[in-house]
Amino acid sequence: MKNFFAKYNNIITYILISFFLLFIASSFRHILFNSHAFDLGIFDNGIYLISQGKNPYVSFRELHILGDHAAWILYFIAPFYFLFPSVYWLFFIQSLASAIALIPIWKLSKLNNLSDSKAKTICLIYILYPLIFNVNLFDFHPEVITLPLFFIAILAVKLDKIIWFIVSILLILGCKAVLALNVVMMGVWLILIYRKKNYGAFAIFSGIFWFIIATQLIIPAFSGEEAAAVSRYAFLGDSVSEIALNLIIKPQIILSHLFTLANAEYLLLLFLPVIPVLAWQEIPNLIPAIPTLFLNLLTEYQPQKDLVHQYSLPIIPFLIFTIIASLAHHKTWFYQNTKIRIWSLILFLALAKYVYFFPNGLYLKNLHTWKASNEAISLINTSKSVFTAPQFAPHLTHRLTLDLAIDSIDYNQVNKFHYVLLNLDNPTGYSSQEDIKNLINFLEKNREFQLKYNQDNIFLFEKIK
């Protein structure tokens, strides 16, 4: 341990500050009832059920947790829930993964003969990249765990540590099925650019193998349908195989979806924070990021074209490595540490969503119902079934059955639940206030339910028959 602190003394402070800020921000967002059933509730519910030795069937998602993205890494998180079931484990793991990526970033910088001050600057570029902060706010996603893993995989190649590389790649594949495409292209990159045939061959083979197994066997078997994101590319087909075929035989469709104003804005957002430190000669280092970039450009689904959601995460490790190579081998537009750090800070201040915590910000808009929401939730003191609003779901997912008051509400289904917790003040965008008001009227007239709590437009009903 002493050797570790001595070796990475220069960035220990960065790691600790980053971790605590990310953990506090994501936890505070959750405490303020701004986390969501999609996606925090899904993962929390699935992992909790695994930890209890139960079938991890997420009732409000209507599928087994493996039917979502074949993310078997979630089974590795379950032991923490067995010790103490808490959603805060997910915030802890996500924040820690983002922060400890600084260790391999530092090591890669030093292997490229960069000075300590330049290596620190690269660490700051990474931690101030707006997506790192923003994605930690947006619930929990297992692909955040791949941030240090991708860097470790690159480092393993540089140090010729084949076991490190294999373990890193296997863990990456376990975080999300689509990451197999990045792993395949990482293999191509290692063979073409760095002549690392053994490493590249393993990445290509394992990536192709897992992508086929996950998309054609595991996800359909556990969900009864194609992978969830397939619908975002419906103009190319209704299945992964059909989409893959049409990508080859219908290039005209692809081009019409790539060259759009929305994509130009996305590329500007993605590269603006780092453009002054990129050398065009090092752009081939972005080859492993091509699948993510291509999928994000191809779809019309807006969350895949911003720096808020998780969809651009696989680009980050290779973007940072490209920066390392650029600063090590070329005179970039910005080369002085002070200029680079100021630029990174300016772009962080401009694009990071810390402003959501400001007075009148997005995360404080429910503050007037915060006390009532907590009181109502505290009255749900059993693990019986709950029907509730999406923002309450992550606070109630440690149970077998939970469903959401969204879309077209089936009153017959509502009758099957023991508790119904509703937010008339802010029903979220999935349901209107009129929908929730009608449901409340129905429950008030229903002899099977009694109103247990009503304050500040927060309603809790409990079944009495």
Give the closest residue to 314 by CA, choosing from 327, 328, 295, 338. 295
Tokens standing for residue 399: 């149970």
> CA dist 173 to 72, 83, 163, 229, 367, Å?
9, 26, 16, 17, 40
Please report, to the nearest 10 degrees, the dihedral formed by the alpha carbons of residues 448, 391, 393, 408 taken in order: 50
Instruction: Say if 365 falls within a structural domain.
Output: no
Phi and psi, residue 387, nearest 5°: -115, 120
Global pTM reads 0.94
Residues 381 and 338 in one domain: no
Residues 411 and 440 in one domain: yes
Cβ neighbours of residue 250 closer than 8 Å, sequence gap 6 or more? 236
Q: Which of 290, 323, 357 is the last residue of a domain?
A: 357
pLDDT tens for 258-312 read 989 999 999 999 999 999 999 999 999 999 999 999 999 999 999 999 999 999 9
Tokens standing for residue 300: 């019309």
Instruction: Say if 362 falls within a structural domain.
Output: no
User: Is residue 83 predicted with pLDDT exceeding 90?
Assistant: yes
Instruction: Say if 430 falls within a structural domain.
Output: yes
Residues 239 and 210 in one domain: yes
Instruction: Say if 73 falls within a structural domain.
Output: yes
- Are 256 and 269 in contact by the 8 Å Cβ rule? The answer is no
Cβ neighbours of residue 96 closer than 8 Å, sequence gap 6 or more? 19, 23
Residues 237 and 345 in one domain: yes
Q: Would you tell me the crossing angle of helices 116-128 and 337-351 to the nearest 10 degrees?
A: 10
Instruction: Say if 383 falls within a structural domain.
Output: yes
- What pLDDT band is residue 231 in, cutting at 50, 70 and 90? confident
Look at residue 4 in the predicted model and tell me its pLDDT: 57
- What pLDDT band is residue 429 in, cutting at 50, 70 and 90? low
Residues 337 and 377 in one domain: no
Give the span between the Cα atoms of 102 and 106, in whole angstroms. Answer: 6
Give the number of residues written for the chain.
465
Instruction: Say if 452 falls within a structural domain.
Output: yes
- What pLDDT band is residue 228 in, cutting at 50, 70 and 90? confident
Residues 338 and 211 in one domain: yes
Q: How many domains does the chain have?
A: 2
Task: Residue 75: give the domain boundaries.
Answer: 2-357
Residues 420 and 454 in one domain: yes
Residues 28 and 175 in one domain: yes
Residues 86 and 173 in one domain: yes
> CA dist 270 to 88, 293, 304, 360, Å?
29, 10, 11, 28
Strand order through the sheet with 458-463: 402-404, 386-388, 419-423, 458-463, 449-455
- Are 43 and 93 in contact by the 8 Å Cβ rule? The answer is no
pLDDT tens for 392-407 read 999 999 999 999 998 7
Give the span between the Cα atoms of 169 and 203, in whole angstroms. Answer: 7
CATH number at 423 reads: 3.30.110
Look at residue 54 in the predicted model and tell me its pLDDT: 97
Q: Which of 332, 357, 382 is the last residue of a domain?
A: 357
- Are 401 and 434 in contact by the 8 Å Cβ rule? The answer is no
Residues 408 and 328 in one domain: no
Higher pLDDT, 226 or 358: 358
Instruction: Say if 320 falls within a structural domain.
Output: yes
Residues 106 and 29 in one domain: yes
- What pLDDT band is residue 1 in, cutting at 50, 70 and 90? low
Q: Pick the range with the lowest mean pLDDT from 2-11, 70-79, 182-191, 240-249.
A: 2-11
Give the residue-averaged pLDDT of 177-185: 98
pLDDT tens for 193-212 read 999 999 999 999 999 999 99
Tell me what percent of the residues of the chain surpass a pLDDT of 70: 98
Q: Which of 333, 357, 381 is the last residue of a domain?
A: 357
pLDDT tens for 120-149 read 999 999 999 999 999 999 999 999 999 999
User: Is residue 85 predicted with pLDDT exceeding 80?
Assistant: yes
Look at residue 5 in the predicted model and tell me its pLDDT: 59
- What pLDDT band is residue 10 in, cutting at 50, 70 and 90? confident
Tokens standing for residue 44: 């929390």
Look at residue 168 in the predicted model and tell me its pLDDT: 99
pLDDT tens for 317-357 read 999 999 999 999 988 999 899 999 999 999 999 999 999 99
Instruction: Say if 441 falls within a structural domain.
Output: yes
> Which one-letter DSSP state was computed for residue 380?
-
The average confidence (pLDDT) of the chain is 94
Residues 197 and 83 in one domain: yes
